[in-house]
Structure 1
Amino acid sequence: MTISERILKVLKDRNMTQVEFAKQVGIATSTISEWKKKKTNPTADKIMDICNVLQITPEQLLTGKGIEDEEEIVAASPESRFTPYDIQLIEDYHGLKEEQKKRLMAYVEALKKIESLENM
């Protein structure tokens, strides 16, 4: 399976339209049409944007792990609240030094406070 085929599979699994995907990634819908025709693959500078929109890791996109195997990538459901992107975030967190973890948690708390003030 090519990278573009993986993207299209995840789009289908997520019930996301190509127009919605293109808008969120910042690409033309004609670009996706080119991928479908197997004329091109995404450019390297768009890989992270694609992964963020699809909530998958670059490893999953490039290797197919978790996409091509029998596990379906699906939006978070009551039974399975964590997406592959969530899991990657937790793995990255565990790789941080203790001081970095404390700083990250302080940022999270600050963001929550800002959001609550904005919603008043």
Structure 2
Amino acid sequence: MVNLTERIKELMDKKKWTCYELSAQTGISTNAIYDWFKIGATPSLGNVVRICDAMGISLEQFFCGATSYQLSVEEKEVLDQWFALSDLEKAEIMHLIETFRIIKNNA
């Protein structure tokens, strides 16, 4: 399991950011940031998202590291559309993809 404060510190070190800089970039109070490191308070998921946005990384990269896959703009668009579909529509899309695989393998 990822230790949130250790991961935040690791990312801050890579950016050469102080707690003050992280606060300025995210809008999270410096007191909250100091509490994470000094008294072991746990950052909320909302604050982790703000940190990711400020650092230009995804939540996946935050939790999995730099080796995670970067989605292209087209892939992000497909995923956005996918999440808006009903279960029936998703099943139909998966059936269509399987049909394309069969056609491709028989060609």
TM-score greater than 0.5 by the shorter chain: yes
Deviation at 1:48, TM superposition (A): 1.8
Residue number in structure 1 paired with 2:44: 43
What does residue 30 of structure 2 align with? Answer: 29
> Max radius of gyration: which structure?
2
Name the counterpart of 1:66. Answer: 65
Aligned to 1:80: none
Deviation >3 Å, runs of 4+: 88-91, 93-97
Output the CA distance in 2 between the equivalents of 1:18 and 1:88.
Answer: 30
Gaps of 5+ in 1: 72-83, 98-120
| 2:53 matches 1:52 | yes
Q: Distance in 2 between matches of 1:40 and 1:33?
A: 9
* Distance change (3 Å), C-alpha of 1:34 and 1:88: farther
- Report the 3-state secondary structure (helix = DSSP H, G, I; strand = E; otherwise coil) of the residue aligned with 2:13: helix
Deviation at 1:60? 2.6
TM-score for the superposition, normalised by structure 2: 0.58
Percent pairwise identity: 26
Q: Which amino acid aligns with 1:22?
A: S
Alpha-carbon spacing, 1:15–1:47, altered in 2? closer, same or farther (3 Å): same
Q: Are the aligned partners of 2:23 and 2:29 in contact in 1 as well (CA < 8 Å)?
A: yes
1:1-120 equivalences in 2 (<5 Å) = 1-37=2-38, 39-61=40-62, 63=63, 65-66=64-65, 87-88=70-71, 90=73, 91-95=75-79
Structure 1 residue 36: deviation in Å?
1.1
Residue pair 1:57, 1:88 contacting (<8 A) in 2 also? no
Give TM-score, length-normalised by structure 1.
Answer: 0.52
State the Cα RMSD in Å. 2.6
